Structure 1
Amino acid sequence: MDAAQYNAYIEQMRQTEYPMLKDATYLDHAGTTLYSKSLLEAFSADMMSNLYGNPHSASQASQRSTHQVQDVRLQLLRYFDANPDDFDLIFVANATAGIKLVADALREHESGFWYGYHRDAHTSLVGVRELAKEHRCFAEDKDVEEWIRQNGQTMHNRLGLLAYPAQSNMNGRRLPLGWCEKMRSQGVLTLLDAAALLSTSPLSLANLDTAPDFTVLSLYKIFGFPDLGALIVRKDAAWALQKRRYFGGGTVDMVVSLKEQWHAVKSAHLHEQFEDGTLPIHSIIALKSALSTHTDLFGTLNRISEHTSHLAERLYTSLLSLRHGNDEPVCQIYKDPLSTYGDGSTQGPVIAFNLRDARGQWISNLEVEKLAHVRNINIRTGGLCNPGGIQSALHLSPWQMKQNFSSGQRCGSENDDVINGQPTGMIRASLGAMSTLKDVETFISFITEFFLDSKSSPNNRTDSPVLMAEVPIVEQLHIESLTVYPVKSCAGWQIPPDTSWEVRPQGLIWDREWCIIHSGTSAALSQKKYPRMALLRPSLDFAAGLLHITCAVPIKGATCTEITVPLSADPRCFLPSSKTSTPTNVCGDNVSAKIYSDPSISSFLSSILDVPCQLARLPANSTSRHMKPHLRTAGSEKMPLSFSNESPVLCITRMSVNALNKEIKAKGGIATPASTFRANIVISQPLHLPPGTELPHAEDSWSSVSIAKRDTEAEAAEATFDVLGKCRRCHMLCIDQRTAEKRQEPFVTLAKTRRSEGKVWFGVHLALGKGQTRGWLRVGDAVVTS
C-alpha cells in the first residue's frame, strides 16, 4: 500500500488497537509505553494456558520458562540480523542498565579504561565518564574522525571505549555507524546506544566487521510492552566484560563459602554470566507475543521507518513555514546541518524546536506544555536527557548552566524555562508507528492558533491589547467576597459577610494551614495531578473548634462521609515522629509538617483521591517557607509563607471575570465562576454602575491596595497591601471546582487574550505593606488603589 493508504490503515487501527490514542494527539513516541489490545490478549492467553516457573529448577514449569526464554533470545538476535554464533544477548532492565553493565565490567580492568562519548549522548551514556580513568566528550563528528586518524593517542595504553547514539534522542539526527569498524582498527571498543533509533527504524548486525561491540536497546520503545532492555554483545569483545567480580544467583556453577572462598562462573553461554538472579520471565515471554503482534500490525521496521519519515518531513516543513504577520519565524528548529528530513540515513522522525513571538522573544515551553495539556496533545519539553545536545544547540556556556541551576532550574521542575532571555530547554515532537497525518495537522493547528500572530507588523507589539491598555485608577471599589482555603488545593471556604477576618504577613488566617501529602514521597498533592481534590470541602467550625472535611459527591469505596480535626494544634493528634516535624515538599520548597496519626483520616482521603496520602499541618510559627523570589519587593525578602504556592494573598476583580466570560460566551462557551481562580479576595465595582462602565484588568496597574473601615468597630482597622505582581496561570484553571471535571476553558481564552512575555496572567499577588503585622477585612469594605 502507498503512504496515504498506510496512514489511513494506522488511523483506523488506533480506534481498535490503541484506544488510549482515540482522542489524543501523541507526539512523544520517543518515550512512550503504548501497548496494543492484540498484544495484551495474546500475552494473557499464553499466561492463562501455561504454567511458568523459576528457570533455575528442573521442574516441568521451570523448564517451560527456560525454553521460552531461549526461544525469545534467539528470535531477538535474528530480528537484528545478529548471527548467534557471533553475538549473544543479555536481558537487562532497560537500556541504561545495559550501559551500566558494560561500564561496571570495564572499570574492573587493572588500568581502568579510557572513555570517549559524543556530544549527542543521552545522559545515561554521559554518566559512564564517572567510572573511567580518563574521558573526553567529542563536540563534533570531525573531532571523532580526527581522533581516529591520530590512532587514539590520548588513551595512555588503557582499554578504550567509544560510546555514541545511533540516533540523537534530542533532535533525531543519525550518527555514522561506520565509526565502529574504524575504532576496532585502533583497538578501541564501541558501545552503540540504539534505543532511540530502533523505536522506528531497523538495525542490522549482519556485517560482523562493522557491528558495534556492545549494542544497548529498549524493547518497550520498539514494542510498547513489556518494560525491558537488552545488551547485544559481539562475542569477540566478550573478554572485556569478564573481569567483573560480582556474581549473582544463576550466574555460577559452584560457590564455596565456609573455610574457603571460591566460585566457578558459568561458562557455557556469555549471557549466563551476567543475568543475575531470577530473570523477568513473564516480561521475556511477553516479548514473544510482542514480536509477532508488532509484525502483524505494522509489518517491518522498514515500513514504519518510511511512514514516520514521511510524517516527520511534513511536520518539519510545516513548522518551518510558519511566519508571524511581520514575516518573523514562529519556530526555531534545531536540525543538524548534516541531516535531512526525508533521508532515513541521516535523520529520524524527531523535531526539536522552540517558539518565538513576533518580536523575536522566546515563548516559555512551560506555557506551551500547559496549553498542549488542555488540548490533549502529548509532547515533551525541557532538557530531554541530552545535556551535550542542549548545551550545543542553545549555545549555553557551563557558567550559564550553573547559574541557571542556582536560579532554581531543575530537570522535570515547573520553574521558568526562559532565564535571562534565553531558553534552557526545548520542545520535542517525536513520531512513531502509531502516528498519523492527523497528529501532524492537529499540532500545526495548535501552534497556529495560540502562537502565530498574523496581525503583527515590524513596529507592533504582540502583547494582549487588554494587558497593554492604560487603565485609570478605579474608584468606588469594595470587597465582594473573601475566601480561605484551609487545605491546600482543596475547595475554598467563604468567609461570612458579617465577619471581620484577620490577615497577617503570611496571609489570611487559616488559609492553607493544612495540606495533603503523598504517603510515599511526602510531597504535597495538587489539583493539577489529583483533580478530585476540588471535591474535598473544608469548613471551619469555630463553635466546636473543628475543621470539617467532606466530599461534595459520593465516591465509590469511600470509607466515610466526613472527617474532622481540631483547630487547635493538640500534639496528641499527630504522629510521634512529627513532634520534631516531617520533611515535606511544597512547590519545590522543603518544609516541616506535622502528620495526623488517626488512620481514619488517611483512609478517608486516600479513598477519595485514589492515592495513599495523609493530612499534614504547618507547625505554629513556622518560618520554613518564604515568598517566591520573583515576587519579593524591597523589605519583603523574609516574608513568611504558609502552604500557598507563591504569595500570601491572591486577589482578582469581578470586572476582569466578567470581561473574560464575555469573551468565552461570544464563542458559545459557558461562563466561568470566580471560584475557578481560587482567589482570597474578590474586588468589585458598585452594582448600580451603567453597563459598559466596568474597568476590567485595572489591577494590572495597581501598586498598592488599601482597605478602608466599613464601620466604626475597632477591629475593622485599615489594612494596606503591596501589589507584588500579576499571577501567572496554569491549566489547573481547567478543573471545574464544582465537579472536578476537566475542560478547556477558561485557560484557552486567557491564553489568547491575557498572554504577555510568553506567560498567561490573571489576578494579582498581594502582601501586607511594610511594617504591618496584622489587619482586618470584611465583605463590603471600601477599597482604594494606587
Structure 2
Amino acid sequence: MSDLISNLYGNPHSESTPSALAGRRVDEIRQRALQFFNADPDHFDLVFVANATAAIKLILEAFRDDGADSGIGGKVKKKGRGFWYGYHRDAHSSLVGVRQATNGLHRCFESDAEVEEWIQAVPTREEKERTCLFGYPGQSNMTGRRLPPSWPSMIRQSQKRQNTYTLLDAAALAASTFLDFGNEVNAPDFTSVSFYKIFGYPDLGALIVRKSSGAILQRRRYFGGGTVDMVISIKNNWHAKKNSSLHDQLEDGTLPFHSIFALDAAIDVHQQLFGSMKDISAHTAFLSKRLYDGLSQLKHLTGTPLCHVYKDASAAYGDPATQGATIAFNVQRPDGTIVGYTTVERLADQNGIYLRSGGLCNPGGIATYLEWAPWEMKAAYAAGHRCSRPTEVMHGKPTGVVRASLGAMSTIRDVDALVTFLRKAFLADAVSSDAYMGGQLAALDSDTSVADSLGLSDKGHSRPARAQGWKPQIRNFIRKHVAIKKAARAGA
C-alpha cells in the first residue's frame, strides 16, 4: 500500500499526509487544465464537476439563491422574485432548463439579430430590478453552427447591461476547436466544458469562471463536505465557508480525484496523438466540408436530394469560425418523404458506421429546422411521441434527425465510407452518384496531401490515421503513461 501511495501522491516518508498531497496534485492539474484553454490563473478559476450539465446547474443554484435574497452591488431587491434569464434558440436542453428557476422571467431569442438588438435595447423593468443571465451555446449540438463569440464582450461593454452575466455552453465547441481565454476582457463570465467530449476519457467536466465575476457564485446557499471550515448543527445553524478560492467553495464532497489524475495523462496523450487543438480544428473543418459536399451530390433520379441537410444560412462548411464538424440530416425517398431516422441509424450500425439520431437534446433547433409549432409538438406528445420512444414521422414531418459528428480521430476514409453507405443503401440507381464516386472516392487511398498541408502528418503517417485505434485502447495507453510518470517520480 505504501508503494501505491508513493506512486500516486509522492514520497510516503514526507510529513505531508496522502490527502494533502492528493489535493496539491489536483491543484497542479487544475492549473494545467486552465493552461490548456490559455486561461491565466490570475484571472480565471476552474471548478471540477461531473459534466457540462453539472456546471450549468451550479450556475443555476447561485443565481436562484441570489434572486431569492439580495441584488448585486449592494442594492437590495424584493425577496423571492428570482432572476431574469435569456437563452438562444440553439441551446442544449441543459441550458434551456435554467429557465425553470426564474419564476417565469425568461426569454428565448429566436435569432442572432434578436440577441444583438436586445443587447442595445433599454432593459425592461423586470431586467432592471433583477440580476440577469444570458446563456448560449458556442456550437449548436444539432447543426454544428458556431455562434458569435463576441456577445460576452458586447454585453460587458454595454452600459445598459451592467447587471447581466454571460454563460457559454462550450461542451460541443471545445471538442474540435481551440477554446482561447487569452483575452480576459472578452471572455464569458462562466463557461461549461466537458473533458470527456474533448479527450474521450475521463468522465469529467468543469466550470471556468472569470474571477472578477465570481462573487455571485458565493451566494449559493447549499454547502457540502469540503466547502466549509466550520459548521454548527446543534442549537445553532451557523457555518463558515472556505475563503481560499472559488473552487474550494463550490467543489462539494470528495473530488473524483482518480478522474482528475487521469485528466493529466489524457492531455498528454491527446497532444502526442493530435498536436494542437488548432490542428484538430483545421482537420475537422476539411473533413466536414468533404462530407457536406458528398451528401449534397447524392440525388435520386427524380432530382430529389437523398439527404436533406439542416444548415444555418450564416454558416459555411470548411470555415471553422462559423461551422463545426457536425452535420444533421434526414434521408429522403425519391418523392421527398422521410426515411425514419432510427432506420438509418440501425442500418449504419450494421455497417460499422456510428451515427446519432433523434431530438439530440436541442428543442429549439428541432422546432426551427423541422418546422414544428408548439401546438404540433404538444399534439405529437399527446399522440405518444417521446424522445425515448419516438414516433419518427408525424403528419409528414420528421420528429428528429440523423447526426454525423467528426473529431480528431476521423479520417477521409470514414467520411467517404458514410457517403458510400448512404448511396448503396438508399439510392435506387447508383449511377446517379457516379460523379461523386468517380471524383472523391477514387482519391481515397492516395489523398495524403491534405493532411500534410494541415500539419497533421508525422513521419509520413497522418495523425488521424494513426489514431484510428486510439479510442478502444485509450485506457491502456493512459495506464502506461501514468506508470511511466509514476516511475519517473519514484526515481526522482
Kindly state the Cα deviation for residue 47 of structure 1 after the two structures are TM-superposed.
6.8
Answer yes or no: is 1:439 the counterpart of 2:414.
Answer: yes
Per chain length, whose mean CA-contact separation is higher, i.e. which structure has more relative contact order (CA < 8 Å, sep 6+)? 2
2:430 & 2:414 partners in 1: Cα distance?
27
Task: Find the partner of 1:350 among 326, 336, 355.
Answer: 326
| C-alpha spacing 1:79/1:455, structure 2 compared with 1 (3 Å) | closer
Aligned to 1:330: 306
The residue correspondences of 1:362-761 to structure 2 (distance < 5 A) are 362-413=338-389, 415-454=390-429
Q: 1:120 is aligned with what amino acid?
A: D
| C-alpha spacing 1:73/1:151, structure 2 compared with 1 (3 Å) | farther
Answer yes or no: is 1:93 the counterpart of 2:63.
Answer: no
2:194 & 2:99 partners in 1: Cα distance?
21
Answer yes or no: is 1:182 the counterpart of 2:154.
Answer: yes
Q: 1:116 is aligned with what amino acid?
A: G
2:356 & 2:430 partners in 1: Cα distance?
29
1:232 & 1:363 partners in 2: Cα distance?
42
List per-residue Cα deviations over 1:90-147 (Å, max 9, x = no partner): 0000000000000111011234210000000000000000001300000000000111
Secondary structure in 1 matching 2:201: coil
Query: Aligned residue pairs: how many?
Result: 407
1:63 & 1:273 partners in 2: Cα distance?
17
1:251 & 1:447 partners in 2: Cα distance?
53
Secondary structure in 2 matching 1:195: coil
1:345 & 1:420 partners in 2: Cα distance?
37
2:387 & 2:5 partners in 1: Cα distance?
42
Aligned to 2:135: 163
Secondary structure in 1 matching 2:46: strand
Kindly state the Cα deviation for residue 454 of structure 1 after the two structures are TM-superposed.
2.3
Answer yes or no: is 1:136 the counterpart of 2:93.
Answer: no
Kindly state the Cα deviation for residue 251 of structure 1 after the two structures are TM-superposed.
0.6
Task: Find the partner of 2:94 among 124, 128, 137.
Answer: 124
Secondary structure in 1 matching 2:185: coil
2:413 & 2:377 partners in 1: Cα distance?
37
List per-residue Cα deviations over 1:458-503 (Å, max 9, x = no partner): xxxxxxxxxxxxxxxxxxxxxxxxxxxxxxxxxxxxxxxxxxxxxx
Aligned to 2:17: 60
1:215 & 1:189 partners in 2: Cα distance?
11
Kindly state the Cα deviation for residue 368 of structure 1 after the two structures are TM-superposed.
0.8
Aligned to 1:224: 200
Kindly state the Cα deviation for residue 261 of structure 1 after the two structures are TM-superposed.
2.0
Kindly state the Cα deviation for residue 280 of structure 1 after the two structures are TM-superposed.
0.5
2:232 & 2:382 partners in 1: Cα distance?
52
User: Are the aligned partners of 2:423 and 2:430 in contact in 1 as well (CA < 8 Å)?
Assistant: no
Q: 1:168 is aligned with what amino acid?
A: S
1:121 & 1:47 partners in 2: Cα distance?
44
Aligned to 2:119: 148
The sequence identity of aligned pairs, in percent, is 52
Kindly state the Cα deviation for residue 164 of structure 1 after the two structures are TM-superposed.
0.3
Aligned to 1:771: none
Q: 1:171 is aligned with what amino acid?
A: T
Structure 2 unaligned blocks of 5 or more = 70-80, 433-492
Structure 1 unaligned blocks of 5 or more = 1-45, 458-786
Q: 2:63 is aligned with what amino acid?
A: L
| C-alpha spacing 1:383/1:86, structure 2 compared with 1 (3 Å) | same
Aligned to 1:522: none
User: Are the aligned partners of 2:5 and 2:18 in contact in 1 as well (CA < 8 Å)?
Assistant: no
User: Are the aligned partners of 2:218 and 2:246 in contact in 1 as well (CA < 8 Å)?
Assistant: no
Q: 2:334 is aligned with what amino acid?
A: A
1:428 & 1:306 partners in 2: Cα distance?
20
Aligned to 2:26: 69
1:108 & 1:452 partners in 2: Cα distance?
56
Secondary structure in 1 matching 2:139: coil
Q: 1:157 is aligned with what amino acid?
A: E
User: Are the aligned partners of 1:122 and 1:385 in contact in 2 as well (CA < 8 Å)?
Assistant: yes
2:427 & 2:248 partners in 1: Cα distance?
57
Kindly state the Cα deviation for residue 76 of structure 1 after the two structures are TM-superposed.
0.8
Kindly state the Cα deviation for residue 455 of structure 1 after the two structures are TM-superposed.
8.0
Q: 1:367 is aligned with what amino acid?
A: T
Kindly state the Cα deviation for residue 48 of structure 1 after the two structures are TM-superposed.
8.6
User: Are the aligned partners of 1:256 and 1:262 in contact in 2 as well (CA < 8 Å)?
Assistant: yes
Task: Find the partner of 2:278 among 302, 310, 332.
Answer: 302
1:407 & 1:307 partners in 2: Cα distance?
44
1:436 & 1:48 partners in 2: Cα distance?
41
User: Are the aligned partners of 1:357 and 1:453 in contact in 2 as well (CA < 8 Å)?
Assistant: no
TM-score (norm 2): 0.80
Answer yes or no: is 1:212 the counterpart of 2:184.
Answer: no
2:431 & 2:123 partners in 1: Cα distance?
55
Task: Find the partner of 2:65 among 91, 108, 113.
Answer: 108
User: Are the aligned partners of 1:251 and 1:274 in contact in 2 as well (CA < 8 Å)?
Assistant: yes
User: Are the aligned partners of 1:326 and 1:456 in contact in 2 as well (CA < 8 Å)?
Assistant: no
Kindly state the Cα deviation for residue 257 of structure 1 after the two structures are TM-superposed.
2.0
Secondary structure in 2 matching 1:183: helix
List per-residue Cα deviations over 1:721-756 (Å, max 9, x = no partner): xxxxxxxxxxxxxxxxxxxxxxxxxxxxxxxxxxxx
Aligned to 1:359: 335
1:411 & 1:456 partners in 2: Cα distance?
37
1:405 & 1:152 partners in 2: Cα distance?
36
Q: 1:431 is aligned with what amino acid?
A: L
Kindly state the Cα deviation for residue 59 of structure 1 after the two structures are TM-superposed.
5.2
1:63 & 1:383 partners in 2: Cα distance?
45
Answer yes or no: is 1:173 the counterpart of 2:168.
Answer: no
Answer yes or no: is 1:238 the counterpart of 2:210.
Answer: no
2:226 & 2:31 partners in 1: Cα distance?
20
Secondary structure in 1 matching 2:115: helix
User: Are the aligned partners of 1:358 and 1:456 in contact in 2 as well (CA < 8 Å)?
Assistant: no
| C-alpha spacing 1:289/1:47, structure 2 compared with 1 (3 Å) | farther
2:269 & 2:173 partners in 1: Cα distance?
20
Bigger fraction of residues in helix: 2
| C-alpha spacing 1:91/1:432, structure 2 compared with 1 (3 Å) | same
Kindly state the Cα deviation for residue 157 of structure 1 after the two structures are TM-superposed.
1.7
Bigger fraction of residues in strand: 1
1:288 & 1:48 partners in 2: Cα distance?
18
